[in-house]
Amino acid sequence: MNTADQLRDKRLLLGVTGSIAAYKTAELIRQLRKLGAEVQVIATREAFQFITSTTLATLCGRKILTGLFDEGGGQTWTQHITLGHWADLFVIAPATAQTLAKLAHGFSDNMLTATALAARCPVLLCPAMDHDMYMHPAVRSNLEQLQNLGYDILPPNYGELASGLVGFGRLPEINEIVAHLVILLKGELKGKHALVTAGPTREPIDPVRVLTNHSTGTMGFALAKDLVRRGAKVTLVTGPTWLEAPRGVDRVDVTTSVEMLNAVLAHKDADFIFMAAAVADYTPDKALASKIKKDEDSFVLHLNRTPDILARLGELCHDDQILVGFAMETENGLENARKKLAQKNLDWIVLNNLNEKGAGFGTETNRVTLIGKNGSLYPMELMSKPETATALLDRILTDCA
């Protein structure tokens, strides 16, 4: 299919709310229609402070819907249901703090919020507001709730805001929104199975102590979420973490490296495997049944190597599977990562340099380099971990295509 037809026959609902960024939706509608989509706009009354109903209606070629009971607005009082079933995707851009709050709590006081409740299709939210509003704990908690409810959220960009301040809250560029919704609609991994591992493992020493590491699982969870978004069936095998599994993911909780190995082997035929877990390399000889008392000034703990899960997968996987490993390095990153890529028989390895600012364990961001078995090298920008996950998948899937 020609890229100009990417959204041919797709039915989109565009929700517009009362943020200054609403003026940008004129261009969004133009681009969506150029790609072949049918667009129905549902605007809140506040949106018309920033863009006129005539502009929106002219561009989308349809009457703009606002109130549930507006004169002539809805053909019937059940139109919010009909629309919610009609659409392939509902994108709300810009989404104000007010609309996010209503959606997080199930309000349905206008056509936009009622239709969001009735929608059977994915709903993509593009928040836009001033930095301090976006950072307010109430907004953060509503966004978290919305994420748990299964809404797809495209976070705002950092940059100049209408208030003159600089911060988070800028509506992403129109082409970013379009690219994001094309991925959502394409479902390019429909029918594919992806296995992702995440988090640390914990190796017991005695009933009280464990050997573990600082991994939080954020990168693996971000990958799992993006794979679901692309339509894959996702199994997420995770070590102990406080993170909530993204909606639609089949989560398997494990503690030790041996438990992780067994859980992974149960899904070894997955089409895509991402070993993002920080697996302990050594485990105590045997976990003691009773607590070690501090009778001695020092004592020796004997450790044995754990199974190398990724290397096992490298032996077992077929050519039509894609196996991706991660390398955590503090020195000679490229050299060590290339060695692991070859030794473990991987298709790709994602190098994480722990010495780089903003990369590695417990950070919100990551800076990685993707290395392919054919020698290709893709150094990536410093990005949030969800953005890193998207960039990695875009690259890997482009290569598979």
Q: Contact residues for ligand CTP (CB under 6 A)? A: 257, 275, 277, 279, 281, 306, 308-310, 325-328, 340
Residues 129/163, Cβ–Cβ less than 8 Å: no
Closer CB to ligand CTP, 70 or 281, in the complex? 281
Closest approach of ligand CTP to the CB of residue 198, in Å: 9
Give the tokens for residue 345: 């028989």
Of the candidates 213, 262, 336, 345, the residue annotated as catalytic is 213
Catalytic site residue 366?
Answer: no
Least distance (Å) between residue 308 CB and ligand CTP: 4
| Helix boundaries (H) for 106-229 | 111-118, 131-135, 137-148, 174-186, 218-229
Residue (125 or 351) nearer to ligand CTP, CB: 351
- Distance CA(281)–CA(8), nearest Å, equals 50
3-state secondary structure of 194: strand
- Which CB, 208 or 301, lies closer to ligand CTP? 301
Q: Show the DSSP H helices in 35-89 as ranges.
A: 53-60, 79-86
Residue 283: CB atoms within 10 A of its CB come to 22
247-278 burial: b if 16+ Cβ within 10 Å, else e:
eebebbebbbbebbbebbeebbebbbbbbbbb
CA atoms of 161 and 142, how far apart (whole Å): 22
Residue 146 or 195: the one with the smaller Cβ distance to ligand CTP is: 195
Minimum distance of ligand CTP from residue 311's CB (angstroms): 7
For 97, the enclosing helix (H) or strand (E) is helix 97-104
Smallest gap from Cβ 273 to ligand CTP, in A, equals 10
CA atoms within a 13 Å half-sphere pointing along the CA-CB vector of 389: 23
Question: Which among 65, 91, 189, 170 has a CA at the least distance from the CA of 128?
Answer: 170
193 vs 340, beta carbon nearer ligand CTP: 340
Active-site positions read 213
